[in-house]
Amino acid sequence: MPQLDCPECERDIAMHELETRTVAQTTGFETNYRCPFCRSDFDEVAELMA
């Protein structure tokens, strides 16, 4: 299972633990992610992969 490091609390998060929010816009979809531990939001997960 892929893991990433939270940019705020630096804890390891498994991909299935991430909280996601996807919003439909006129230009497509926008997805934001939230750490389940410290509740910080971030947009990209690819560069956070451990």
DSSP codes, 11-47:
-EEEGGG-EEEEEEETTEEEEEEE-TTT--EES--GG
Give the pLDDT band of residue 50 (cuts 50, 70, 90).
Answer: low
Three-state DSSP class for 50?
Answer: coil
**pTM (2 decimals)?**
0.77
- Tokens of residue 41, six digits: 């939001």
Give the pLDDT band of residue 48 (cuts 50, 70, 90).
Answer: confident
For residues 7 and 18, the answer to whether their CB atoms sit within 8 Å is no
For CA atoms 9, 40, 26, 24, give the dihedral sign.
Answer: positive
User: Does 45 or 23 have the greater pLDDT score?
Assistant: 23
Residue with tokens 């893991």: 3
